[in-house]
Chain A
């Protein structure tokens, strides 16, 4: 398991991963205050995507990903997330890809 260094790649692939198998995927956020570290993990028990940061600006991006995952999990994986706040980074591309894989 390696950390993904690019945020966009992490966000895109984690949404894809979730949509491919919504029932066994989970999204974990670990925050360690004393070291000032934040680790995000998305896994379906077969594949694991991780992202590590110590930057406050990434926390802002994470907030947007949080909202996407809240929406996906509470409303269902087929819901349109393009208008979920903070979607401006990866536009509609992951949406399209996720759907393609599902079919």
Chain B
């Protein structure tokens, strides 16, 4: 991950030990590094770029997790203080993504979630190519019309629950 040969002086000593180990780059990549615990908070657009490369890196092995959570990005103590002071806490949508080694995150406000979810959907569509298409090829591609056939296969169970 640290590409340059020059020893970074600001890193703790145990980090230097890792750098001189005789393991191959591939082995080193597999073991959890210190970076796994450092979550990088990005702007929505760099986040999407990073997510894309995360999907590209994990095509042969590995998984990608994307988590959505409603969060105020404030500590519990701070929240308690704000509630007792009568302030309203602003919540946003926190999006986190990890491949098990690296974690990235971004925060979406009510203003930019629409744009984000459209780009996010495009990325997912482009990278989730390993999922199985339906067996039935009798239908033409026209709109990939999923609804009709599905409704026939499994009747809606709305009233049962």
Residues on A facing B (Cβ under 8 Å):
6, 8-9, 12, 22-23, 25-36, 38, 53-60, 62-63, 66-67, 69-77, 88-91, 93
Cβ contact within 8 Å between A33 and B121? no
A-B contact count (CB 8 A): 130
Contact of A57 among B62, B121, B150 (CB under 8 A): B150
Cβ contact within 8 Å between A66 and B134? no
Q: Which of B8-16, B19-27, B28-36, B64-72 forms part of the interface with chain A? A: B64-72
Contact of B132 among A9, A26, A55, A88 (CB under 8 A): A55
Cβ contact within 8 Å between A57 and B146? yes
Contact of B70 among A25, A67, A90 (CB under 8 A): A25
Cβ contact within 8 Å between B131 and A30? no
Least CB distance from A70 to B in Å reads 4
Chain B residues contacting A75 (CB-CB under 8 Å) are 110, 113
Cβ contact within 8 Å between A9 and B124? no
Cβ contact within 8 Å between B133 and A29? no
Residues on B facing A (Cβ under 8 Å):
55, 58-70, 91-94, 108-110, 113, 116-117, 120-121, 124-125, 127-134, 144, 146-147, 150, 154, 156-158, 161
Cβ contact within 8 Å between B69 and A29? no
Q: Which A-B residue pairs are the 6 nearest by beta carbons?
A: A36-B130, A73-B93, A74-B113, A74-B93, A56-B131, A32-B63
Cβ contact within 8 Å between B91 and A76? yes
Chain A residues contacting B127 (CB-CB under 8 Å) are 31, 33
- How far apart sit A5 and B159, CA to CA, in the bound complex (Å)? 17
Cβ contact within 8 Å between B55 and A56? no
Contact of B68 among A27, A60, A88 (CB under 8 A): A27
Least CB distance from B75 to A in Å reads 14
* Contacts A28-B66, A32-B62, A70-B93 supplied; 10 other A-B pairs, CB < 8 Å: A28-B65, A28-B68, A31-B63, A33-B55, A33-B129, A55-B134, A66-B120, A66-B124, A74-B93, A74-B113
23 CB contacts below 8 A, A to B, read A22-B91, A27-B69, A28-B65, A28-B66, A29-B65, A30-B63, A31-B128, A33-B128, A33-B129, A34-B59, A34-B130, A36-B132, A55-B134, A56-B132, A66-B117, A66-B121, A70-B117, A73-B91, A73-B94, A73-B108, A74-B93, A74-B108, A75-B110
Contact of A56 among B66, B133, B150 (CB under 8 A): B133
Cβ contact within 8 Å between A31 and B64? yes
Chain B residues contacting A31 (CB-CB under 8 Å) are 55, 63-64, 66, 124, 127-128
